[in-house]
Structure 1
Amino acid sequence: MTCELGGKHCVPCEGGIPPLTPEQATSLMQQLDSKWNLIQDASGLRAEWKFRDFYRTMSFVNAIAHVANTEDHHPDLEIGYDYCRVVLTTHAIQGLSENDFICAAKIDALPRT
């Protein structure tokens, strides 16, 4: 999926800014894959992917780790044999920032087999 968010880079967030409103978050959701869902009152983003086996799951997880390190914005991951669940939120502001949507868009662009 090509979108404006995927071409941006995360900026450091040490707090001091308000989290995105539910309306702002809902608007940005339109640029993401439909797998993403808003968490309670737009405090985070969540998505889940299924894979054929552990190798493919871990390949995807490693690709997410590369995106996270490159962007210096790190999701919470839950992984198992054939699944990966991702939660994005900006802990410093206890809610969503544009960084979360940038990382989600970059994860959307990762290959999955």
Structure 2
Amino acid sequence: MSDLTQRHCTPYEDGVAPLTHEQAQDLLAQLHTDWSLSADAKEIVREFRFANYYETIAFVNAGAWISHREDHHPNLEVGYNRCRVGYSTHAIGGLSDNDFICAAKMDGL
């Protein structure tokens, strides 16, 4: 497991610079290989696949618990047997360590 799973999110405010493309690539290397970085380096995305709706919703609920504990929330697109998870730190208009911390914890599910 990545050491990202041992860290916790911290609040960010306007004026804090988002991660650079290079910084984001370095952190992306610590996640499951299914995560991808958007071309503008403002979001990371992964689609999780499941056998059925019940498993999908169980994953969503477990992810909601992580989001609540870390106070950092992804964009979710939920279908019958899939969930697309996207992280971005809206307060700074790009990516922060928080996005990678939560992504690593989602990988742990």
Q: TM-score range by the shorter chain?
A: over 0.9
Matching residue's letter, 2:97: E
TM-superposed CA distance for 1:70, in Å, is: 0.3
**Paired residue secondary structure (2:65):** helix
Instruction: Please report how far the alpha carbon of residue 94 of structure 1 lies from its aligned counterpart in structure 2 after TM superposition.
Output: 0.7
**What's the C-alpha RMSD, in Å, of the aligned pairs?**
0.6
Report the counterpart of residue 77 of structure 1 in structure 2.
76
State the shift of 1:39 in Å.
Answer: 1.0
For the pair 1:91 / 2:90, whether they are aligned, the reply is yes
Structure 2 residue matching 1:105: 3-state secondary structure? helix
Q: Which amino acid aligns with 1:77?
A: L
For the residue of structure 1 that corresponds to 2:40, the secondary structure is helix
Structure 2 letter corresponding to 1:89: S
- Higher mean C-alpha displacement, 7-16 vs 91-100: 7-16
Amino acid at match of 1:34: T
Per-residue deviation, 1:103: 0.3
Cross-structure match for 2:8: 9
Counterparts of 1:79 and 1:15, CA distance in 2: 30
Quote the offset at 1:4 in angstroms.
1.2
Structure 1 distance, partners of 2:15, 2:9, is 16
SS in structure 2 opposite 1:40?
A: coil
What residue is the counterpart of 1:38 in the other structure? 37
Q: What's the % identity of the aligned pairs? A: 52
Q: What's the TM-score once normalised by structure 2's chain length?
A: 0.98
Matched to 1:82, the amino acid is N
Query: 1:20 maps to which residue?
Result: 19
TM-score (ref. length: structure 1): 0.94
Distance in 1 (alpha carbons) for counterparts of 2:79 and 2:68: 21
Q: Counterpart amino acid of 1:42?
A: A
d(CA) in 2 for partners of 1:63, 1:40: 29
Tell me what 1:58 maps to.
57
Runs of 4+ residues deviating >2 angstroms: none
Distance in 1 (CA, whole Å) between partners of 2:54 and 2:14 is 37
